[in-house]
Chains A and B, each alone.
Chain A
Amino acid sequence: MKPHRNHPLWYAFALHRASGLLLALFLPAHFWVLSYALTDSAALDGFLRWTDYTLVKIAEFGLVFLLAVHMFGGLRLMVLEWLPWSPRQKTYAASAVAASFCLSTLFFLSAV
């Protein structure tokens, strides 16, 4: 970890980039599996059975977190760029993570 990066808003950037990248890699797989509804809905059902496993539910929690944190983080950037400057930059970044964690926990509790 390079010392000049050791401040909260750099970590916010890193989280935004990592979440975006991971979501972009997940997306084609997501589309591929859903497309089975067209040709072989039994195969789709087979894929969906995996979601009964707790480990998969945890992975889904991770995905929902990534989506939520990327969105809330992105909204933070839009506020930064388009609304008058606020001195509360770190608060917004922290709030984005907190809100995402709450949302993905809500999902996880619904899934188990």
Chain B
Amino acid sequence: MSDGSHSLRVSVWRGTQAGAFEAFDVPMQESQTVLDLVAWIQQNADPTLAYRYACRVGMCGSCAMMVNGVPRWTCRTHVGKVATDGAVEIAPLRNLPVIKDLAVDMDPFFDKWTEAGGAFSPTKSRDDAVEPILPETPERREADAAIECINCAVCYAACDVVSANPDYLGPAALNRAWSLVNDVKDGALDARLIAVSGAGGCHNCHSQQGCVAHCPNELNPTASIAGLKRATVRAALKGRI
């Protein structure tokens, strides 16, 4: 349902790492999201615009982009909330290589997830009894607070330590590591603590809490990273790492 009488000036990044913003006039509609703007441009103005989305209902994280300089899920960002003077600026996520236009290369993000010890290390086989995990134990509370991450990379784009330190594993990878540190079924604790203690490890976090401010799932990677700091110090004092 198009309003017809108003349009928005939408500036969209075109190109790769080098490139420029290109402006489009997009018709305003009721209940319009930033993803709607991008889709309109690609469908009606310029079919060569590259962008990503999938679920368009705020559960997959694929549509994450910089909107007026702030990383957000574009499908859950109402135009009315972010448009200033009838204009919106849309750019690819910060801190990741740009493939084309609004699509970034997520490989560095996922590589660091693995590097931080993100993979689960089983200790039991199918022949063993199922491990009883009680939800109210302190460890399980910590893990549960961290497990809703869908790896959208909004926190990674928001983090200035990621920008400043190329080795820094980033909030999502470290948050994942913390969830496994608190998983009693996992068998790779010391290796994981070593993995998060290197040049890009948890000790480089300055608690700016940009990750907390911008996570669409309202997670707290800063708290997880603080947990890793405590765990690594205790392990170091005991000579385990």
Contacts and interface: CB of A to CB of B under 8 A. Distances in A.
Q: Do chains A and B touch in the complex (CB under 8 A)?
A: yes
A85 interface: yes
A88 interface: no
B70 A4 contact: yes
B209 interface: yes
Interface of A (DSSP majority class): helix
Contact of B70 (A3, A17, A81): A3
Interface in B25-43: none
Given A2-B69, A4-B69, A82 B230 contact: yes
A3 B88 CA distance: 13
Nearest to A77: B207
Contacts of B70: 3-4
Interface string B84-97: 00000000001000
Interface residues of B, number: 23
A4 B207 contact: no
Interface in B142-172: 157-158, 160
Contacts of B158: 4
Contacts of A5: 160, 210
B184 interface: no
Contact of A9 (B68, B71, B94, B209): B209
A85 B206 contact: no
Interface in B65-88: 66, 68-71
B100 interface: no
B69 A9 contact: no
Interface residues of A, number: 16
A18 B31 CA distance: 43
B209 A89 contact: yes
Interface in A35-58: none
A85 B138 CA distance: 13
Interface in B96-155: none
A5 B211 CA distance: 11
Interface in B168-210: 206-210
A94 to B, nearest CB: 14
Contact of A4 (B94, B222, B226, B229): B94
Contact of A3 (B68, B160, B230): B68
20 contacts: A2-B69, A3-B68, A4-B69, A4-B70, A4-B157, A5-B210, A7-B209, A7-B213, A9-B207, A9-B209, A10-B160, A10-B210, A13-B208, A77-B207, A80-B207, A81-B207, A81-B226, A81-B230, A82-B226, A89-B209
